[in-house]
């Protein structure tokens, strides 16, 4: 299993360079906006809005999702502090290092929670989350393993928080 990780980590630098070679100026700004929609603040504003004006069910889901956002951000912060992986563009502080992708973790924690209670929209949510991950790669903020780890960690965190806080 470790050898797979070593091969992927060695290969993802080349993938990063290839993705950066595909960048086009007209797509930079839209990708920045997509990336921004996946951060904790934007998702908190979405959840707050749903809690304020949504149906009773949406208010309940939004409350759980807010906690999911907080827990996901906490897990990311602890992991970044421990792992301290350099981002593709170079040195950053320990607390803003690359692994895992915080945007991807938080958006997938929210998708796990909202998708559990609105399964008819799950595919659209996962598509949006995937686009956030692609934007993080496109903008050169993360390596592929940072984003994939964010998907896995966020999904697990979201499911755990939902199971702990949801009551019928």
143: containing domain: 2-165
Q: Which residues contact 61 (CB under 8 A, 6 or more apart)?
A: 50, 54, 113, 114, 117, 118
Give the domain CATH number at 38: 1.10.606.20
Residue ranges in the chain modelled with pLDDT below 50:
1-3, 6
DSSP class of 89: T
- Residues 23-67 have pLDDT tens digits of 778 888 888 888 888 888 898 989 899 899 989 999 999 999 999
The tally of domains found in the chain comes to 1
pTM for the full predicted model: 0.87
Give 57: exposed, middle or buried? Use CB within 10 Å, 0-12, 13-18, 19+.
exposed
């Amino acid at each position: 299993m470790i050898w797979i990780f070593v091969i992927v980590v060695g290969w993802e630098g080349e993938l990063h360079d290839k993705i950066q070679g595909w960048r086009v100026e007209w797509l930079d700004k839209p990708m920045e906006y997509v990336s921004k929609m996946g951060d904790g603040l934007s998702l908190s504003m979405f959840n707050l809005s749903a809690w304020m004006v949504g149906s009773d069910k949406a208010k309940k889901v939004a409350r759980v999702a807010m906690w999911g956002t907080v827990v996901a951000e906490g897990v990311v912060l602890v992991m970044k502090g421990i792992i301290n992986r350099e981002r593709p563009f170079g040195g950053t502080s320990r607390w803003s290092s690359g692994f895992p992708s915080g945007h991807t973790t938080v958006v997938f924690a929210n998708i796990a929670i909202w998708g559990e209670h609105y399964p008819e929209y799950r595919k659209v949510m996962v598509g949006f989350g995937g686009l956030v991950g692609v934007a993080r790669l496109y903008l050169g903020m993360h390596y592929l393993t940072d984003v994939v780890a964010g998907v896995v960690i966020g999904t697990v965190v979201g499911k755990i928080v939902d199971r702990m806080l949801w009551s019928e």
